[in-house]
Amino acid sequence: MKLSSKLAALAFAGLLASAASAAAAKPLFVYVSPNALGVDDFLKLGKAGTDRVAQALGADAKTYESTDPTTQRQNLEAAAKAGAAVVIAIGFEFNDMLPDVAAAYPNVKFLQIDSCPFGKMKPNIYCSVFREYEASFLTGAEAALTTKTGKVGAISALDIPFLHRYTDAFIQGAKQAKPDVKISPTLWVGGNSPFQDPARGQERAAAMLADGADRILAAGAGSNGGIFKAVEDAPGAASFGVDVNQCPQSPGFVMDNVEKKTDIAVELAVKGIVAGTQPPIAALGLKEGGMALTGLGDAVKDSKCTIADFPEAIAKVKALRDQIVSGALVIADPMAAK
């Protein structure tokens, strides 16, 4: 073999080695959920965002589903040991354990979505949180503007400060739009699986409907299906979903939705972490597009949301949204008072 041929062969072999090395160095993003994904649209959005950003950045993506605090911590540690470049954890369930795990793996970046270990932050922890109360406030206004009985109410999974961002803000919005609106006492799904218990959700909704409320915020994640079922059995009643457009799940009985763009938050934050531009804490609300109402979008007529039948209410709520975005109307964070 001529020298030039040998050199070419060696060069080609070098390219193959470099390619193999690059493949081996392909970054890994691991998504850790606090519970099984199941019927929880919120958790599914986190996975979708992780998968999309991994594809966009040429990385691998894995999902570790948890079932309890023990497996939540185990999954965080397993993701770090697996060599993840970024570990994405979603939910308040990770608040206490994340700082300890992050301290044990200082070379791994940890992103917490929808909550943050305030006061216990580490240099390798990033948080993307939402101003849920802004969009929840708007659904309350829609409820008050469309109610027939003059009474509205909210149901959520657990009576914890964070979820009051939905329930309390919904009530505030209702009173803003109609000061004399009646409010049914807030109910909580509770039980062993408050975020995934449609049966208990249905029981709570039936009780609220019996109390005279005909507009109900359903902030129960996977328990919402039961709330929708109860509303279907009450002529003239309507509910409000959360996280995604849940109107197709119960056409004609879901008025609108508090959409939380969890997938977008994951994508933006991971890209920022990789680029080195992500702040330790980022908050997304109506202004940033992290929160939205299905009914205020351009596709409301095709959304299967009943708010489409109330154009005057939509116009009034859009005006409220614009005031919030501009800063003319400031909605207090219910969690700050808890």
* CA dist., res. 226 & res. 222, Å (int): 9
Domain residue extents for the chain? 26-130, 133-259+293-337
The CATH code for residues 133-259+293-337 is 3.40.50.2300
pLDDT of 24 reads 54
d(CA 281, CA 49): 18
Q: What is the CATH number of domain 26-130?
A: 3.40.50.2300
Query: Could you tell me the pTM of the whole model?
Result: 0.79
- The yes-or-no answer to whether 26-130 and 133-259+293-337 have a common fold is yes
Neighbouring CB atoms inside 10 A of 82's CB total 14
Would you call 211 helix, strand, or coil by DSSP? coil
- pLDDT < 50 stretches in the chain: 1-23
Give the DSSP H/E element, type plus range, for residue 71: helix 69-81
Which residues 6+ apart lie within 8 Å of 180 measured at CB?
A: 150
Going through 186-304 in order, the beta strands assigned E by DSSP cover 187-188, 215-219, 238-243, 254-260, 281-284, 291-293
The alpha carbon torsion through 308, 313, 316, 321 (nearest 10 deg) reads -50
Q: How many CB atoms lie within 10 A of CB 132?
A: 27
Give the pLDDT confidence score for residue 335 in this predicted structure: 85
What residues does 257 pair with on adjacent strands? 241
User: Phi-psi region for residue 14, left (φ > 0), alpha (ψ -120 to 50) or beta?
Assistant: alpha
The pLDDT, as a whole number, for residue 309 is: 95
pLDDT for the residue numbered 196:
87
Q: Any idea which residue has 């922890």 for tokens?
A: 125
Instruction: Judge contact between 120 and 94, C-beta under 8 A.
Output: no
